[in-house]
Amino acid sequence: MLIYLRVFKESLNFAINALKNNKLRTFLSLLGVTIGIFSIIGVLAAVDSLKQEIKGSISSLDNSTIYLMRFSFGPTSIPQWKREQFPDVTFEEYQYIKRTMPELRATSFTLNVTPETIKYQDESISNVDIAPVTNDYYDIEELQVVKGRFFNEQESVGGAPVIVIGDEIANSLFGSADPVGKKVRLYGRKFTVIGVLQKEGSGLFGNSKDTMIILPVNMVRKIYGDNNKSSFPAIIIKPESDTDVQEFIAVLKQKVRTYRGLKPDQIDNFFVNQLQGFTDFIDNITGTMSKIGGFIGMFSLLVGGFGIANIMFVSVKERTNLIGIQKALGAKRRFILFQFLFEAIILAIFGGLIGLFLVWLISILASNFTGDFEFILSSSNMFWGMLSSTIIGLIAGILPAISASKLDPVEAIRTGM
C-alpha cells in the first residue's frame, strides 16, 4: 500500500513540475476547459435563478389555486380556431360557482385590463397595473394591508369607487403623508384610497403589487361593459386545504358544463387551469433549457478535452527521452501512466475551478446590477461541473498516458537523442 502511495506522490510531483515548466501550454489547455465549465455552469445557474424567480413570483398563491377562463396556461390539443370561439366566463357564472360549489374556500371574479394613469393633485403615474377583483381576492392571494383596509363584500357587489394601492404607488403620489381617505382620479372619476398593501419588492419582470391598484371589479364592469374585447375575465377559485383537487376540478367542470348547457358529445368550451399545472409547465420548460444549455456546454468542454489531449500528446513527444531514462532507471509502467494522467486531470480541475470562479463572480455582479433578481450558484451545479471537468481530464489524458507508459526505454532514449 505504501508503494502505491509513493508512486502516487511522485507521479503527482512530476505532473505539477511539468505544468509549471510549460506555463503557456498550461494556460492554453486551461482556457478550453474553463470556457466549457463556464458555459455549462453558467447556463445551469441562469436556469435555476429563473426558475426560483418565477416560483417566487407566484408563491403567494397556493398550488391548488384554479383559474377558470377561455385561455389555457399550457399547450393544448384543441386547435386555435376552435379556442378563439370559446366564450368568456361571466360574472353570473362566478356567482353560480360561489353559490353551488362544495368545499370552496374562496373565489374571485377578475378582469384583465390595460394599464391606466392615476392622478392625485399635481402628481400622476402612468402605466399603472389595474386589478379589478371581488372582495374574496384578499383571501386567495393572502394580501397584507399595512394601512387602512381592503374593500368589503358590500363595496365589491355595489362597485363602490374605492381602491387599495401598492406601496410604491403610495410613496410616489403621497410621499410621507397617509394615503388613506385621499381622493385620486382614475378612469376620469374620483376614487377614495381605503388601503395600502405591504411592500413586496420587484417581481420577475420588474412589476409587483407595489405598482398595482386593486379596486372592485363591478366598478370596472360599469366602465368597460361585459362585452369589451380589450379586457378578458377570469374566475379564480381556491378549494379547501384538505380537498381532493382533482375531484374538485371534475365537479367544477361538470357544473360549468351544466350551466352552459353543453351536450355530452361536446368538448369543454373553457379551460380549468390549475396553478400546479402551471408550475409543472415552468419546470418542464426550465428543465429543457437546462438540458439544451448543458448539451451545448458539453461541446465546449469536449473541445477543451481535445485541447488537453493534444497538449498531452505533445508533452509525451517532448519528454520521450526523459521517459526512456526513467524506465531505464527502473520506473514502472504505472508510474509513467500516473504521471501523465495526473497532469491531464490537474489541468482539467484547475480549468474547472477557474470556470466556477468566473460564474460566481458574474453571478454576484449580475445580482447587484439587477436588484431583486438573484442569481444562484448551487452546490449541486458546482459538484456536477467539477465532476464533468475531472472526467474530461481523465478521458483526455488516458490515451497519451498509455502511449507514454508503453514506450520501449531503449527506443525512447534513442529517439530523444
Looking at residue 307, its pLDDT comes to 74
Residue 87 is given by DSSP the state P
DSSP calls for 199-232? P----TTS--GGGEEEEEHHHHHHHH-TT-TT-E
| One-letter amino acid for residue 247 of the chain | E
CA distance 388 to 228: 56
CA distance 321 to 190: 92
Looking at residue 59, its pLDDT comes to 54
Looking at residue 206, its pLDDT comes to 47
Looking at residue 372, its pLDDT comes to 56
Domain ranges of the chain: 2-57+281-416, 87-269
CA distance 110 to 254: 22
Residue 84 is given by DSSP the state T
213 and 164 Cβ atoms separated by less than 8 Å: yes
CA distance 162 to 195: 9
Looking at residue 91, its pLDDT comes to 92
* Residue for grid cell 363591478: 218
Looking at residue 392, its pLDDT comes to 82
- The packing angle between helices 245-260 and 91-100, to 10°, is 130
Q: pLDDT digit of tens for each residue in the chain (417 aa)?
A: 555 566 556 656 665 666 667 777 677 767 777 777 777 777 777 777 776 766 665 555 556 788 999 888 777 888 888 888 889 899 999 999 999 999 898 999 999 888 889 998 888 888 888 999 999 998 888 788 899 999 999 999 999 999 999 998 999 898 888 899 999 999 889 999 999 998 876 654 445 788 889 999 999 888 887 776 677 899 999 998 888 888 998 999 999 999 999 988 889 899 988 866 566 666 677 677 777 766 776 776 777 777 777 777 777 776 667 767 767 767 677 777 777 777 778 777 888 888 888 888 887 777 677 655 567 777 777 887 788 888 888 887 788 777 777 776 666 666 655
Looking at residue 183, its pLDDT comes to 93
Which sign does the torsion angle of CA 249, 251, 252, 258 carry?
Answer: positive
Q: How far, rounded to the nearest angstrom, does the alpha carbon of residue 166 sit from its chain's CA centroid?
A: 25
Please classify residue 20 by burial: count the beta carbons closer than 10 Å to its beta carbon, then call 0-12 exposed, 13-18 middle and 19+ buried. Answer: exposed
Looking at residue 98, its pLDDT comes to 92
Integer CA distances (angstroms), 43 to 195, 262, 298, 350, 376, in order: 42, 47, 11, 20, 11
Q: Residue 234, SS3?
A: strand
